[in-house]
């Protein structure tokens, strides 16, 4: 049984909010605001003004994610081409961030379970070198944030929940992402990505792309040092102070593992 089929069968558990947080005084219109506030993880119902991270476990939620991705791509001048690539589609999950039941962010993670990754279309040689060295590689795709509600905390929360799935539950050691060359500096600074492949034309969006690579060991170190410490944001100059604390990381991991087993 595939991953998404297991999640659909455990739909009641996975339909719940995974995590919620309330950044007061959230600035509007910026790419990277400076929110503050506490994150809540033990929840069944949440106030309307909180942000919520949920799994896109059914067609309706997947359509919501797709709509935001297409809108943000169109705003950037990209044309997203749906469908399978020549290397097939990886097994994947999509996370959604909600504010007052409106989707304000989405991120998809793809797992290398035999069908390859989307990034193999352009960067098979580079990714195969990681595989040959014993690395277990996953990919981030279709990251989109509503710029009217953009915040580092929204981005950090989606990234951390995705990371928990990949690292804690499925034991991936490396992550790759294809980004526009103009965004490379952001991903290097905020997450610690490194360049893995040269610039090439991505046919899925008809735009140039670079392959970036991130080791899970680096993320683990950053979470241990900075996670849950937004007061260190200026010192760290990265996304990591906005991630959950190590204790919250463990708490969420245990709940997600329990939900999957119950499914």
Beta strands in the chain, from DSSP E residues, in sequence order: 19-21, 39-40, 51-55, 91-99, 102-111, 137-145, 174-179, 194-202, 207-215
Closest CA to 21 of 210, 242, 191: 242
β-pairing, 207-215 with 174-179? Answer: antiparallel
CATH of 3-262, one of 1.20.1200.10, 3.50.50.60, 3.40.630.30, 3.90.25.10: 3.40.630.30
What pLDDT, in 10s, does the model give residues 23-60? 644 443 333 322 223 333 333 344 556 889 998 877 88
**The tokens of 73 are what?**
């791509």
pLDDT of residue 29: 34
pLDDT of residue 217: 97
pLDDT of residue 6: 57
pLDDT of residue 258: 82
pLDDT of residue 4: 53
What are the boundaries of each domain within the chain?
Answer: 3-262
pLDDT of residue 120: 96
Closest CA to 53 of 2, 23, 15, 26: 15
pLDDT of residue 164: 96
pLDDT of residue 60: 81
pLDDT of residue 177: 97
Q: Are 227 and 249 in contact (CB under 8 A)?
A: yes
Weakly modelled stretches of the chain, pLDDT under 70: 1-16, 23-49, 77-89, 150, 262-263
């Amino acid at each position: 049984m595939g991953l998404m089929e297991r999640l659909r069968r455990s739909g009641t558990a996975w339909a719940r909010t995974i995590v919620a947080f309330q950044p007061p005084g959230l600035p509007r219109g910026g790419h990277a605001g400076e929110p503050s506030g506490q994150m809540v993880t033990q929840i069944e119902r949440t106030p309307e003004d909180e942000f919520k991270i949920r799994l896109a476990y059914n067609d309706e939620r997947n359509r919501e994610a797709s709509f935001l991705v297409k809108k943000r791509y169109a705003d950037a001048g990209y044309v997203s081409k749906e469908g399978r690539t020549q290397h097939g589609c990886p097994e994947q999950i999509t996370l959604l961030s909600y504010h007052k039941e409106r989707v304000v962010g989405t991120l998809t993670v793809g797992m290398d379970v035999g069908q390859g990754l989307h990034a193999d279309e352009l960067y098979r040689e580079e990714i195969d070198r990681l595989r040959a060295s014993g690395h277990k590689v996953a990919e981030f795709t279709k990251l989109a944030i509503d710029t009217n509600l953009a915040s580092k905390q929204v981005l950090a929360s989606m990234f951390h929940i995705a990371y928990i799935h990949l690292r804690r539950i499925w034991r991936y050691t490396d992550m790759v992402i294809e980004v526009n060359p103009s965004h490379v500096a952001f991903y290097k600074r905020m997450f610690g990505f490194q360049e893995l492949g040269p610039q090439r034309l991505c046919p899925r969006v008809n735009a140039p792309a670079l392959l970036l690579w991130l080791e899970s060991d680096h993320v683990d170190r950053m979470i241990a040092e900075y996670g849950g410490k937004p007061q260190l944001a200026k010192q760290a100059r990265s996304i990591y102070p906005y991630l959950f604390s190590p204790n919250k990381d463990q708490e969420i991991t245990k709940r997600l593992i329990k939900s999957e087993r119950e499914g």
